[in-house]
Structure 1
Amino acid sequence: MSAPRNVRDAVVIGAGPTGLTLAIALRRYGMDTIVVDKGPSTKREPRASVIWQRALEALRDLGCADLVMSQGLPLNRGEFHVRGRRAGVQQVQLPDTAYPGPLSIEQDVVERLLRDRLRQLGPDVQWSTEAVAVRLDGGSAEVDLRGADGNTRTVDCRWVIGCEGSHSIVRKSLGIPFEGEQRHNLQCMQLNAEPDWSHPYDPGATRIFINHGVTLITDPVPGRGTRFFAFCPDPAPHSQEPPTPREMESLVARATGEPGVRLVPTDPYWANRSRFHDRLAATLRQGHALLAGDSGHLWAPIGGHGLNTGLLGAHNLGWKLAAVHHGWATDALLDTYNTEQRHTAQEVMRNMRRNILEIPPNLPTLTAIQLLLPQLLRSERFARQGALILSDFARNHRKSALSTGRAGPGPLRPGDRLPDLRVTSETGSGRLHDLLSYQRWSLLVTGDGSGTSELRKLTDRYVMPVALFTIRTEPPGHRTRPEGTLLLVRPDGHIGLSARATDDRALTTYLDRWFVRKT
């Protein structure tokens, strides 16, 4: 008689920011989750350097934001220079959030902090452990893992999630097409250095220098260093060597129009030369296997949203996978991760291709930027819209099957992120997001709370955790629904259903579609 199989709940392959974020989310839901990575330890390459506001909100849901904020530099504006002349300033801070501005923090620091959080919730990453094959078997999966000693073992699990990057073994094992193409004649060169130039160190400012055939972006990094990264044409696409300090000095001088720039590399040394593919997996879910981060989508880092899109994708996936795994929700809920995240990736890719402020400009485009950008930067509407896009607050799931109900007056619609307003509830006065939780859904009713007892009885029929609050905004009527409106808010802070508080039928129909009733 064979021994019973020891089946783990989930195996996360890849211990980069996306994989660590997802594993933290699953462990917070009580799932037995292991993380494996073929590398020997947490990476020491800085790579990405900015976390935008929406991703900071996601990290707060996972208990990580305070750690991350303590190690980064808050940014408040972007300064644009065209052909060596200052074109204007764009403010990037926004209201209705606990994180009004983005954070300058390098990826290796983020990974270290996420790993610390993971170890608070269970075992460490299994380093030097490479996934070499994945097989699906009905309601479970098998993962072949090869250790540092060369021996291979098989782990049985309910779910396997590929977060291991562009060469994902999960995607390849399941034959999922990775659709797209290589970006030609575009490279990004990066160097961390202390510069000797005319722009003093400013810990709150990102500087963007636009000139013919080059866009240079500089971010302050903790310790008074500066991250220089430049997009430019690629005359020697087979060269793999990172740029030298002298090569970067020449590029910085060309972008800024300032001769004699000197760059002293910081310690530890970081320089990198990158080329890119724009690719999207045909599906991010196949049965009990899923893809997240660069395993499912990647693009040139124009706009600086690769890391953030991966973090937010893991934030989206974690609660859905846990709800289906625990039997709280129908399997269709997990399918919405595929549709929502692929739509988000497609939108980011479209925005990236239209971002003329970071794509190296030709002469006609450069002339247009020089003429129009100063005027646009003086426009409050342009500044706010730009800040919303950068923060990821403008991204929504309005087209998702999970978003239902009346749009109503004002800008807030089903599928939108719920803004973090000042509100009064039965718990007192405070911020709206303090009422929400990543561990459950939230049913918000605007008004005096009449009829909420019936709503509580209704939600109590389902095994999915739901908390109910009656709220009034401060000041009254500020960017919310009229009195007598209910908002059913997902664990990730997006509105699932908007309806009249008396519309029991709309709420019941929604809950029956996605939630499992108690027996």
Structure 2
Amino acid sequence: MNASGSRAVPHREPQDETVPHRKGSAGERHDLRDAVVVGAGPTGLALAIALRQYALDVLIVDKAPGTKREARASVVWQRGLEALRDLGCAEAFLHRGLPLECGEFHVCGSPAGVQELSMPHTAFPCPVSIEQDDIERLLRARLRDLGPDVRWSSEAVALRPGHDSVGVDLRGPGGRVRTVEARWVVGCEGSHSLVRRSLGLTFDGTQRTGLQCLQLNARPDWSHPGTPHRTRIFVNHRITLITDPVPGGATRFYAFRPDPDPTVEGPPDVAEMTRLVASATGEETVRLEPTEPGWANRARFHDRIAPTLRGGRALLAGDSAHLWAPIGGRGLNTGLLGAHNLGWKLAAVHHGWCPDALLDTYTSEQRRTALDVMRAMRRNVLELPPGRAMLTALRLFLPTALRNRRAARRGALLLSDFGRHYRDSGLSGRRGARTGLRPGDRLPDFPLAGGQGGGLHGLLSYQHWSLLHIGGAEHHARHTERLRELTRPYALPLRHRSVSLRAEPDAPLPEGTVLLVRPDGHLALRVPELDHRSPAAYLDRWSARRPT
């Protein structure tokens, strides 16, 4: 732990060693940008950072006059923190945020048990409570480390797709419209995305009727003492209340409840929110003192997704691509992880390291993830306001489920996003184990053996692929050298490592295993060391060859 109480982030290799000079040097049109990112919310900022780390000339624009000052989303889960580490800003998030160690459940006013939120084999065992205005401020600071700031008050008003570039018409503060040409355009501007509409894409789905979410940041006077690292979930008839501690000593109150009058608009006042808190907790006396600056919000929802996230040189990310009710805090995190997925793929195609088909795997992987999240949130009985039958079931069975270690593990795995995978992706090699760690899974940060110190993630980098030979003994040297020779003709950035893992029951990687790991930390291939054909076949499909 550092002096601020935040957990230190392990050292990782320099992030730019394997990135060649970007395209667009002398002789090309000076007004042609590598990429334009439309929308400077968390997803757009994260994507722009990822692309700049790969030396792309990125312009990020937003029609707003500056960074949002609203609290909005407030939890970054463990996998999201790993993505932020790859973007070079996780340490700042840990310093500013509060770690959340567990969730405490109450049903009909009575304690039902505790869900531990911590996870093993990661530098970030706990999620972090941090509000969106801080998230955007920290991401923007990292963006400025790598190049120019966001171009604010610049609204994208038209898209002009071409064969090898896209024209983006930008309207500035005085109403003047100018066109910027870019090799790639990514829409991260929200549910009313101009980029999506310009591609002629529908936004399939429906409005979620009968559900609203009311939010307020406040300091409560009630029977539950302030605990800075604990979320509380109160479930009662037709209402679920979630409380998260937020930096600065306040509490975020979320109330999910039916929507008896959809014509009521505007944020809840203190009186309405106090009644909801009392109803959810069963307490007769509750007082809420709103924070300054305040945050209150009433939200209704749509469940929608685009049929594809790509149209030629234009792509979609975040709420431009998919959205749903903010149950489980999944929207922010799915957007960040989508940017993390897209950034290295777009850079690899742009630099000519990989075929264009690599970008299509962004669509298949991210749409599958979004649809899985959407289905899970529709079945999230722990946050959706229950009727009497479901409430009775929760009273009977939730305490037992929370005491069951296997069930608790599954819950933490889902919340952390560590359980999400790309096993069905075309980018996941089919050979390897049928159980345990498989192609498409996130590679856990298994501890290294002997004097190597640290964990497996310290050997990875967002800037290159990694070929890991598990074993490290001298008798593996001939296989390692054979793999080096095999991969040398390929253009994609790739590093070889021979490593030994500390023997642990849940680290099922025997000596002699070879892992090909993507820049985003997901496993591409798992084969025995004697199998040299599978890595060669995989690289033949997904990598260009170096010029001879």
Give the TM interval when normalised to the shorter protein. over 0.9
- 5 Å-filtered alignment, 1:248-397, equals 248-397=273-422
Structure 2: distance between partners of 1:7 and 1:129: 18
Q: Is the 8 A contact 2:107 2:395 kept in 1?
A: yes
Partner of 1:216: helix, strand, or coil? strand
Of 111, 127, 138, the match for 2:152: 127
Counterpart of 1:393 in structure 2: which amino acid? F
Structure 2: distance between partners of 1:314 and 1:476: 33
Q: Is the 8 A contact 1:410 1:479 kept in 2?
A: no
The answer on 1:441 being equivalent to 2:465 is yes
Structure 2: distance between partners of 1:276 and 1:89: 29
Partner of 1:254: helix, strand, or coil? helix
Structure 1: distance between partners of 2:30 and 2:217: 50
The answer on 1:97 being equivalent to 2:110 is no
Tell me the TM-score normalized by structure 2. Answer: 0.93
Other-structure match for 2:526: 498
Structure 1: distance between partners of 2:271 and 2:222: 14
Of 57, 70, 77, the match for 1:32: 57
TM-superposed deviation, 1:243: 0.1
Counterpart of 2:541 in structure 1: which amino acid? R
TM-superposed deviation, 1:480: 3.2
CA RMSD of superposed structures (Å): 1.2
Q: Show CA shifts across 1:204-230 (max 9, x none).
A: 100000000100000001111000011
Of 463, 469, 480, the match for 2:497: 469
TM-superposed deviation, 1:429: 2.7
Partner of 1:455: helix, strand, or coil? helix
Structure 2: distance between partners of 1:47 and 1:399: 33
Q: Show CA shifts across 1:164-214 (max 9, x none).
A: 000000001111111000000100000000000001110110000000010
Structure 1: distance between partners of 2:483 and 2:447: 24
Q: Bigger shift: 427-436 or 278-287?
A: 427-436
Q: Show CA shifts across 1:37-94 (max 9, x none).
A: 0001000111111000000000000101000110000010000000000101110101
Name structure 1 gaps, 5 residues minimum. none
- 5 Å-filtered alignment, 1:119-268, equals 119-268=144-293
Q: Is the 8 A contact 1:329 1:516 kept in 2?
A: yes
Counterpart of 2:481 in structure 1: which amino acid? S
Counterpart of 1:469 in structure 2: which amino acid? R
Other-structure match for 1:483: 511
Structure 2: distance between partners of 1:236 and 1:180: 22
Name structure 2 gaps, 5 residues minimum. 1-27
Distance 1:19 1:69, change over 3 A: same
Tell me the TM-score normalized by structure 1. Answer: 0.98
Distance 1:178 1:441, change over 3 A: same
Partner of 1:159: helix, strand, or coil? strand
Q: Is the 8 A contact 1:83 1:257 kept in 2?
A: yes
Partner of 2:119: helix, strand, or coil? coil
TM-superposed deviation, 1:481: 2.3
TM-superposed deviation, 1:405: 3.5
Distance 1:196 1:478, change over 3 A: closer
TM-superposed deviation, 1:503: 1.4
The answer on 1:18 being equivalent to 2:46 is no
Q: Is the 8 A contact 1:136 1:288 kept in 2?
A: yes
How many residues are paired up?
516
Counterpart of 1:190 in structure 2: which amino acid? Q
Structure 2: distance between partners of 1:192 and 1:259: 20
Runs of 4+ in 1 over 6 A off after TM superposition: none
Partner of 1:183: helix, strand, or coil? strand
Distance 1:75 1:82, change over 3 A: same
